[in-house]
Structure 1
Amino acid sequence: MDLDLALRVDFPPPLTDKSTSDEKKDIERWEKSNRMSMMIMKKAIPEAFRGTMFDKITTAKEFLVDIEKRFLRNEKVEIGTLLTSLISMRNRGKGNIKEYILEMSHLASKWKGLKLELSEDLLEEERLKQDKA
């Protein structure tokens, strides 16, 4: 069915008087693929992610690029939130150390999920803060 044709191939050149029947078929296949891809994405992706730009975007490839940009912005916010949580987190001696370790492990796994690494300087600074507390 070539549903992903519109995602793999750029829009074919416009038809001219000298266009062959194969070129016309290619354009028809591409347009059908684009329509089907857009329809599937419109139904599958929640409206909160689609936003108002969806009406202005005409190709499936443009739509995916726009969605990717939105997630990159959200990833930066998530990185900031995780870093703030990691830096401000400390065991105050009142709670269970096991819960503290589990929470730290959870933050570390989220951090690794974003494919980020913490520098040794930052970790050492955090250890010194913990020792003082």
Structure 2
Amino acid sequence: MDATSTVAQRLKFEKWEKANHMALLVIKRSIGEAVRGGLPVNDKAKNFLEGIEAKFKVYEKREIGNLMTTLTTLKFDESHTVREHMLKMVNAVAKLSDLEVPIDDSFVVHMALNSIPESYEQLKTSYNA
């Protein structure tokens, strides 16, 4: 606003400022402190939402990396059943699918069979046959 603004423009700007302030308050109260603390301070709701979007894009990439690491490095440790081990792998694949990272079923089966120990060789042989 400047000195040449009309009364109507000033009233409209004041309404906008009030609505922007209220939107910022609602947004800040509806997100957790951990998320809020990592965002730059903004005086406009639109800029604040853009900051949240950028933060979650970084989070999404990190989550995809973690899930891919889990899928490719998970080994059966005999502290759980083979079924639970396979369900961990299927869960990682499902989460990757939700993040729009499709994984081919044959790759998942290959990773699952390679992650179990030699004592399950009969299972591997029967699958390959």
State TM-score, norm by structure 2. Answer: 0.71
Asked if the contact 2:67–2:96 (Cα under 8 Å) also holds between the matched residues in 1, the reply is yes
- Aligned residue in 1 for 2:53: 68
* 1:49 aligned residue (35, 47, 51): 35
Once the two structures are TM-superposed, the CA of residue 61 in structure 1 deviates from its matched residue by 0.5
Asked if the contact 2:24–2:45 (Cα under 8 Å) also holds between the matched residues in 1, the reply is yes
Gaps of 5+ in 1: 1-13
Asked if the contact 1:15–1:24 (Cα under 8 Å) also holds between the matched residues in 2, the reply is no
- Aligned residue in 1 for 2:6: 19
Asked if the contact 2:67–2:92 (Cα under 8 Å) also holds between the matched residues in 1, the reply is yes
Structure ranking higher on relative contact order (CA contacts 8 Å, 6+ apart): 1
**Structure 1 residues 116 and 45: alpha-carbon distance in aligned structure 2, compared to 1, 3 A threshold:** same
Question: Partners of 2:91 and 2:112 in 1: how far apart?
Answer: 18
- Aligned residue in 1 for 2:111: 126
Percentage of pairs with the same residue = 28
**Structure 1 residues 44 and 128: alpha-carbon distance in aligned structure 2, compared to 1, 3 A threshold:** closer
- Aligned residue in 1 for 2:122: none
Asked if the contact 1:37–1:60 (Cα under 8 Å) also holds between the matched residues in 2, the reply is yes
Number of aligned residues: 118
Question: Partners of 1:79 and 1:43 in 2: how far apart?
Answer: 28
- Aligned residue in 2 for 1:109: 94
**1:56-105 CA distance string (max 9 Å, x none):** x1100111111111111111111111001000123467742221222122
Once the two structures are TM-superposed, the CA of residue 115 in structure 1 deviates from its matched residue by 1.5
1:86-105 equivalences under 5 Å are 86-91=71-76, 95-105=80-90
Question: Partners of 1:132 and 1:53 in 2: how far apart?
Answer: 45
**1:6-51 CA distance string (max 9 Å, x none):** xxxxxxxx34525352x23321221111010111122222222112
Question: Partners of 1:120 and 1:101 in 2: how far apart?
Answer: 13
- The runs of 4+ residues in structure 1 deviating greater than 4 Å are 92-95, 119-125, 130-133
Q: Find out whether 1:59 has 2:59 as its counterpart.
A: no
**Structure 1 residues 116 and 52: alpha-carbon distance in aligned structure 2, compared to 1, 3 A threshold:** closer
